[in-house]
Amino acid sequence: NDGGSMSTLLKRVKKLPKGFVWGAATAAYQVEGNTNLDGKGKIMWDDYLKNQGNFSPNPACDFYHRYPEDLKIAHNLGLNAIRISIAWTRIFPNGYVTDEPNEAGVKYYHRLFHECLKNNLVPYVTLHHFDSPKTLFDQGDWLNREMIDEFVKYADFCFQEFVEVDNWFTINELISLAMCQYIQGTFPPNKLFDVSDAIQAQHNELVAHAKVVNLFKAKGYKGRIGLIHVIQPVYPATNSEADRHAADLRDAFMNRFLLDGTLLGFYSDRTRHLIKEILVANNAELHILPEDLEILKQASKQNDMLGINYYQNQTVASYDGPSETYHNGNGKKGSSVFAFHGVGKDVRNPAIPTTDWDWNIYPEGLYDVLKRIAHDYPDYPVIYITENGMGAKEAWDSSKEYLDDNYRIDFIDQHLAAILKARNEGVNVQGYFLWSLQDQFSWSNGYNKRYGLIYVDFASQDRHLKRSALWFKALSKTMK
């Protein structure tokens, strides 16, 4: 019983392109658990989560031990790729790169990559997914340029060591990290509206990425390398000039600065102008060293891939009041507030449905993002959708064979249709990774925001399939 005929399962998307990369995504800290095991060093989250006392990163889905089971399920569901991240502090426990990496950590990732390949899952590997080593975090994280140097050394080690891996991503979602750390206060060090830190951290991460790309190419490592951005297209609340300008400013802050830095290798005049307006409004500063631009320029011509994560759009109105934010971390619909002095205030567009966490569901936004990249950055490298998915409150009902998550099927189906439409119009998108393979630990929302194809009972660690998993499998068969 596959829970429905192929024709009802396959809605708008009738067929995937041949050779399409069809995967699901994970991140080390969100799945592995076992954060103290086998010599793993602390990251920026461990003490913070402990002190906060809301949720623990252990055992998460115990992927550290249960990866063979999860990868086997992934294979059986017809996936041909998987996105995973390496936990820097499993390899170098205190962040600093030495000649003596932690052997247990190195062996773990060899076993993991081997198991991926055994299951015909091509690993796409991220080097930094929101998990800076604690020692480096304490010294300023990405605001401290020493972090860039250590990151380059850590990346170099991984390229030399993990020859099984052909597809590398340096850093995941620079803007989310900066927003959560320095604007919304939901990630350590929990600052609020520190615009200088938020912009500086992103610039420094772009330089770190660029240095790694330049090294990867200079040393002639095999395989491909890229960066992952989450893009949230911004639409004005009304057609007024003030709202349109606010949307432009927000877009510069969220998207344009990073896309320029990655794909052009410099910040265009228009981008600099908009960013300057944001800095002035918030009494903030950005420091760019002359050599940074050389480094960015060189790397911009050498990216092999671009990872795009897409979840939602933003609707923004002009706003000059004091900045304020409230993070809806428990799924109480309608509770979010985000108003950013001089950079627009989020407003609800009643035509756009939302999840319980107030994330807009707007598949057309993904089409717009892809078209925009192709238009504004014609030299863009091949694009992979490295994350897209829908968080929901779900509970396993043992009287049923599968968990019914038809809303997730609709969500993915509509987003895939948007991707394929852009692809048919010439945008070079070659793959899709659903966030996420299995239910995981969500950074500032804990465990009741579930995204997986596979339902995880976090107490027993039992796995159950959701209806979306069957749909995923049905789609995988259309590639043949």
Alpha-carbon distance of 142 to 86, in angstroms, equals 18
Minimum CB separation from ligand BG6 for residue 436, in Å? 7
Number of Cβ atoms within 10 Å of the Cβ of 219: 10
Structure tokens at 202: 């992103």
Q: How many Å separate Cα 87 from the centre of its chain?
A: 15
Residues 6+ apart with CB under 8 A from 397: 403
- Residues in 138-167 that interact with ligand BG6 by CB under 6 A: none
Catalytic, 387? Answer: yes
Q: Are 254 and 201 in contact (CB under 8 A)?
A: no
- Residues in 298-357 that interact with ligand BG6 by CB under 6 A: 309
Residue of minimal Cβ distance to ligand BG6: 442
Q: Which residue's CB is nearer to ligand BG6, number 40 or number 129? A: 129
Minimum CB separation from ligand BG6 for residue 230, in Å? 6
Applying CB under 6 A, among 435, 455, 471, 472 the residue interacting with ligand BG6 is 435
Alpha-carbon distance of 371 to 423, in angstroms, equals 9
Q: Which residue's CB is nearer to ligand BG6, number 237 or number 453? A: 453
Q: Which residue's CB is nearer to ligand BG6, number 221 or number 443? A: 443
- Contact flag: residue 176 with ligand BG6 (CB under 6 A): yes
Minimum CB separation from ligand BG6 for residue 166, in Å? 22
DSSP 88: H
Alpha-carbon distance of 29 to 70, in angstroms, equals 16
Kindly determine how many residues on this chain lie close enough to bind ligand BG6 according to the rule CB under 6 A. Answer: 15
Q: Which residue of the set 387, 394, 401, 425 is catalytic?
A: 387
Alpha-carbon distance of 191 to 173, in angstroms, equals 18
- Contact flag: residue 442 with ligand BG6 (CB under 6 A): yes
Applying CB under 6 A, among 230, 299, 418, 429 the residue interacting with ligand BG6 is 230
Minimum CB separation from ligand BG6 for residue 357, in Å? 6
Residues 6+ apart with CB under 8 A from 320: 341, 342
Number of Cβ atoms within 10 Å of the Cβ of 134: 21
Q: Which residue's CB is nearer to ligand BG6, number 170 or number 172? A: 172
Q: Measure the N-to-C terminal CA separation of the chain; round to a whole number of Å.
A: 22
Q: Which residue's CB is nearer to ligand BG6, number 318 or number 440? A: 440
Q: Are 109 and 86 in contact (CB under 8 A)?
A: yes
Burial 74-90 (b: 16+ CB within 10 A, else e): bbebbbbbbbbbbbbbb
Structure tokens at 343: 């950079």
Q: Which residue's CB is nearer to ligand BG6, number 9 or number 366? A: 366
- Residues in 23-52 that interact with ligand BG6 by CB under 6 A: 27, 30
- Contact flag: residue 443 with ligand BG6 (CB under 6 A): yes
- Residues in 347-406 that interact with ligand BG6 by CB under 6 A: 387, 391
Active site amino acids: 387
Residues binding ligand BG6 (CB under 6 A): 27, 30, 172-173, 176, 230, 309, 387, 391, 435, 442-445, 449
